[in-house]
Amino acid sequence: MNQPLPPGVPARQAALRLLDAVLRRGETIEQASGRTLASIRADNDRALARAIAAEVLRHLPDLDALINSATQRALPDDAKARFALRIALAQMLALGTPGHAAIATVLPLVDGGPRKLVHGVFGTLSRRGVTLPDPPALPAATAERWAAQWGDDVVAAAARAMATPPPLDLTLKGEDGPEGLELLAGHRRLPRGTAIPDLPGYDEGAWWVQDIAASIPARLLGPGEGNAVDACAAPGGKTMQLAAAGWAVTAIDLVESRLARLHANLERTGLSADTVVGDATSWRPAAPVDAVLIDAPCSATGIFRRHPDVIHRVHPALIEQMADLQRHLLAHAAGWLKKGGRMVYATCSLERAEGEEQVAAFLSANRDFAIDPVRQDELPPGIAPASEGWVRILPGALEEQGGCDGFFIARFVRAG
């Protein structure tokens, strides 16, 4: 019979499985969590496993540099000893776990293997009193890609953002909500770590959690004046905004389990929408509609603060694959729109291929569509529309107020 693992070890084992899924198999933490954390009973152990994995991913280049400085021959990237050391060091240096507890809970991960090596390297680094640099280094490939697109200042801002966990942004269903900073009407910003279910209005569904940048696309369709299709809708932050603004919404998503979350969100907030499990690259409405929102699936590199896995697993081939899907979505969903109707295209990506280049190609292939320029009064102070009329939100935006996600948003009008 297997001996039960010492307390604290299952959470570290799960963190190792999560990191393996992200770094070796290119999965998102969200995708990997279901399978990887299924065997962990306690909620706080699951939360700890995710927190450890996230801190390793935030600091990976710096953790690896420390490990390399204490080994005579570099450990392979995928060596179990390297994973174990990353986990032990991230706990001690980023999460404040005492060194003896950090290493004691990690050594069982390398039982029957390089235990001595892991213990030795950890001991050497502890005695040196090492710390992690602030801000953390970004992976070289990501830093180079962003520097080529946006310049070194944006890369430096991204590194600062990586070190600063985001505040809590709420989108209000109506006018009332908890007290907080109001960057736009119907928005509240609260300090990071605010306990969500304790806030007034949660049970009544008076608001939902959504980054200020993510709330801009649906706002740009304005008050509901007819029917709108939300082409990539789940879990429903933007569907709820459209419904609350008075649109008769049809919400489509390819993934049934994600639409279930949208249903739960609609139920909590008392809002309504027709929902369709379907592929927006082939679905069609019965008749042309007044508004279309495409919050397209993307590389998600703009949400690296919340999902630090993206800076490690997103690579040019994946960006091109997402851009290809977006191309199809835009080309097809544009056909749903009435003449004179408006369409918003958005991605939470920091890649031009999923934003500026996508829109330029769409406009040159669809002469009946034009950019409907976004006005400054539709945006929070501190975020300005680009001269082309679209909105590009980069790391560094709203930095003094706690930052926001990276986004690209364009609004089109179809010629009448």
The contact set with ligand SAM (CB under 6 A) reads 232-238, 252-255, 258, 279-281, 295, 297
Q: How far is the CB of 262 from ligand SAM (least distance, A)?
A: 7
Report angle CA 404, 407, 411 to the nearest 5 degrees: 130
**Shortest gap between Cβ of 18 and ligand SAM (angstroms)?**
21
- What is the closest distance, in whole angstroms, from the C-beta atom of residue 302 to ligand SAM in the complex? 10
Judge whether 282 and 331 are in contact, CB under 8 Å. Answer: no
Measured from each CB, the residue nearest to ligand SAM is 232
10 or 237, CB closer to ligand SAM?
237
User: Which amino acid belongs to residue 32?
Assistant: A
Q: Whose Cβ is closer to ligand SAM: residue 58's or residue 238's?
A: 238
How many residues does the structure list for the chain?
Answer: 416
* Residue 177, both tokens: 């909500």
Helix (H, G, I), strand (E, B) or coil at 287: coil
Give the CA angle between residues 308, 311, 315 to the nearest 5°.
145
CB 303, min distance to ligand SAM, A: 9
Q: Based on CB atoms, which residue is closest to ligand SAM, 23 or 348?
A: 348
The two tokens of residue 70 are: 């204490």
405 is in an annotated binding site: no
Residue 173 annotated as binding site: no
**Residue 169, annotated as binding a ligand:** no
Least separation, in Å, of the C-beta of 331 and ligand SAM? 12
Q: Of 252 and 323, which CB lies nearer to ligand SAM in the complex structure?
A: 252
CB of 312 to ligand SAM, least distance (A): 20
| Nearer to ligand SAM among residue 233 and residue 273 (C-beta) | 233
134 burial class (0-12, 13-18, 19+ CB within 10 angstroms)? exposed
CB contact at 8 A, 147 and 321: no
Q: Which residue has the tokens 């989108």?
A: 171
Angle between helices 237-244 and 256-269 in degrees, nearest 10? 40
Does the annotation place 279 within a ligand binding site? Answer: yes
Return the SS3 of 344: strand
What's the token pair of residue 86? 């990353």
List active site positions. Answer: 348
Of 86, 20, 27, the C-alpha closest to 314 is 27
253 in a known ligand binding site:
yes
User: Which of 230, 188, 229 has its CA nearest to residue 212?
Assistant: 188
Nearest residue (CB) to ligand SAM, 108 versus 205: 205
In sequence order, what are the residues at sequence separation of 6 or more whose Cβ sits closer than 8 angstroms to the Cβ of residue 384? Answer: 376
Q: Is 232 annotated as a binding residue?
A: yes
For 298-313, b/e burial (b = at least 16 CB within 10 A) is: bbbbbbbbebbbbbbb
> Is 113 marked within a binding site?
no
Quote the tokens at residue 413: 């009008």
Binding-site sequence positions: 232-238, 253, 279, 295
Binding-site sequence positions for S-adenosyl-L-methionine: 232-238, 253, 279, 295
